[in-house]
Amino acid sequence: MKTNTLTAQNCSLFEIDAELEAAFEQMQEEREITGNISDEAREHCMQLFAELGKKIDRIAAYLRTQQHKASIAAEEGQRLQQRRRSAEQRVDDWKLPQEFCLHTGSITHRLLKEMLARASAPRAVRRIPAGHDQHPTQYAAGSGCIAAR
């Protein structure tokens, strides 16, 4: 693999490490054969070290993000537990007699039936005199008419 294709974004830590180990072996062979290490081999190792450092930084950033998410979730869990305890305390403070709990449904049902019966009953007849289908303010005020005053 060439260094320019080996990056912290598209390779695993193990792949970068394996490439770096191969580059070191190649450098050692070059030094044993020629007695020197070429600038190209040094540059290749430096690039691999840089990519390894980037990869480690990316992993560390990921772990910090996960730790932050975990702490937020823990705080949210504590907040929800407190809300649960508060709700349970309110229920305990407002203990209702068993008789009320048994009859609440029938009371609600009876009231609902009465409201529906009233809503479906015919409306009251208009109190405008026959032949006067006009607005109350358009005819003379009588003794009981307050709209025309």
DSSP symbols for 65-102:
HHHHHHHHHHHHHHHHHHHHHHHHHHHHHTPPPHHHHH
pTM over 0.75, yes/no: no
Q: pLDDT tens for residues 21-63? A: 999 999 999 999 999 999 999 999 999 999 999 999 999 999 9
Residues in contact with 98: Cβ distance below 8 Å, sequence separation at least 6, in sequence order: none
Angle, vertex CA 58, rays to CA 8 and CA 67, nearest 5:
155
Candidate ranges 8-17, 46-55, 119-128; pick with highest mean pLDDT: 46-55
The owner of tokens 């190209």 is 40
Residues in contact with 26: Cβ distance below 8 Å, sequence separation at least 6, in sequence order: 41
CA dist., res. 146 & res. 136, Å (int):
9
Q: How confident is the model at residue 65 (pLDDT cuts 50, 70, 90)?
A: very high
Both tokens assigned to 61: 């950033």
> What is the reported pLDDT for 136?
53
Q: How confident is the model at residue 67 (pLDDT cuts 50, 70, 90)?
A: very high
For residue 44, give the nearest of 61, 60, 24, 30 by alpha carbon: 24
- In the chain, pLDDT over 90 holds for what percent of residues? 48
- The residue length of the chain stands at 149
pLDDT at 96 over 80: no
> What is the reported pLDDT for 1?
44
